[in-house]
Amino acid sequence: MTDAGTLIRAKRDGNRLADDDIRWLLEAHEAGEVADEQMSALLMAIYFQGLDRAELRTWTAEMIASGDRLDLSSISKPTVDKHSTGGVGDKVSMIVAPLVASCGAAVPHLSGRGLGHTGGTLDKLESIPGFRAGLTPAETLDVLARAGCVICAAGSGLAPADRRLYALRDVTGTIESIPLIASSIMSKKIAGGTRALVLDVKVGTGAFMKSRDKAHELAETMVALGEEQHVRTRALLTRMDAPLGRAVGNAVEVEEAVRALAGDGPPDLMEVTLALAGQMLALAGIEADPAAAIADGRALAAYRMMVSAQGGDPDAPLPQAPHTLRALPAPASGWLSRLDALAVGTAAWRLGAGRARKEHGVSAAAGVICLAKPGERVQAGQPLLELRAEEEGRFSRALAALDGAVEISERDPSASAVSPSPVIEQIG
């Protein structure tokens, strides 16, 4: 008879777990027959020993089977979603969902909240007065049918095993396991019912994956899991060494996303957005030019329709911080060569834009505006950032996070023959 102790020791010693053992383990943990302490020990064993391809396939399938799947069969348009592994200033979802919808696809984007230095799309959209992120499955389908896109929280019935396992991983130092990351992301996305998925795997100081090799491994693992579950899946590796765009926070990122949809987005943000939109449309089998949908106003109209359908007022003023501080003076004249994404994200978090634990609240108005970006000419003493907060007392800790965050070069980067693209690689 299978028991948890035997499986823990087997994985600890580097042996593979049989499909039936994985099914029993996850079902028994859900039923309370396997204690959290035992599951935590197994997660640590997986952290060190990994899961092979067959183990991971079964593990992910069982997490999906632990709950419901969103039934999108009533949606006549081809469905496609995207997922980002998280970064600083990453407001792409708010742009790309209505953009791709305006080109003829249906985009059921089940999103999450920020944690630590990385922002969450739901926190950003909830800075819009009236906007509702918590929708029932019926409401999700209604918004998707009316607006062509929906951005909402994954319902409690989708992959509930993942929530229990993530809570354990969060407190046991096993978050960074690539098989566990991949199965967590993909179980929720597959349960969301989409037929196609594009993954934006961030790489760099402000990303979860700091090295390209690890990011590539995670991307390949997730693409394989998607294809095994009959979801057409591709991944792009994109840079996250500097904030994406100029705004980092919640309401400030909504403002920048709206400007991007109106055709006035920062170049790095637009390059990533258009690359992801192109991949999403290709997987959905739609031939369309996303740049044209921005230029002729269709994308912004789709965004406004989605916000209204989810109870928000797209014309309402967004929250503004009562306190601002222009900070981080350039140490010399020259070209800004580095603006560390992790430092800026941590500063925004300390200003109130982020949370330390999932149950904490966030400030809608707090955040950081990048007054200069890498590659731009700056003068000595010129402030490089604008900090925004609801409480002046938050500025000192935010400034401490920015120590050593910038470098100035005497050389004009535009003189280089090769300008690094924010999109590094395509997988799948």
Contact 4, 25 (CB under 8 A): yes
184 in active site: yes
From 57, 82, 83, 373, active-site residue: 83
- Give the Cα separation of 273 and 93 in Å (integer): 8
* CA proximity to 272, closest of 49, 421, 86: 421
- Give the Cα separation of 109 and 153 in Å (integer): 8
- Nearest-5° Cα angle at 212, 270 to 61: 90
- Nearest-5° Cα angle at 132, 126 to 136: 140
In the numeric block, which tokens belong to residue 410? Answer: 């005497």
188 in active site: yes
From 188, 246, 298, 350, active-site residue: 188
From 57, 169, 239, 246, active-site residue: 169
DSSP 66: T
Please state, in angstroms and as integers, the Cα–Cα distance from residue 160 to each residue in 131, 152, 167, 191, following that order: 25, 17, 11, 10
Count of CA atoms in the C-beta half-sphere (13 A) of 239 = 18
φ, ψ at 387 (rounded to 5°): -95, 140
DSSP 353: I
From 162, 200, 241, 340, active-site residue: 162
In the numeric block, which tokens belong to residue 149? Answer: 């896109």
Strand (E) or helix (H) holding 281: helix 267-284
From 127, 184, 187, 363, active-site residue: 184
In the numeric block, which tokens belong to residue 355? Answer: 């949370």
388 in active site: no
φ, ψ at 31 (rounded to 5°): -80, -5
Count of CA atoms in the C-beta half-sphere (13 A) of 255 = 18
162 in active site: yes
Contact 344, 296 (CB under 8 A): no
Strand (E) or helix (H) holding 349: none
Give the length of the chain.
428
Share in percent of the chain as helix, strand, coil (round to 5): 45, 20, 40
Q: How far apart are the first and last CA of the chain?
A: 41
φ, ψ at 423 (rounded to 5°): -95, 120
Give me the sign of the Cα torsion angle 111, 115, 118, 124. Answer: positive
16 in active site: no
- Active-site residues, by number, are 83, 162, 169, 184, 188
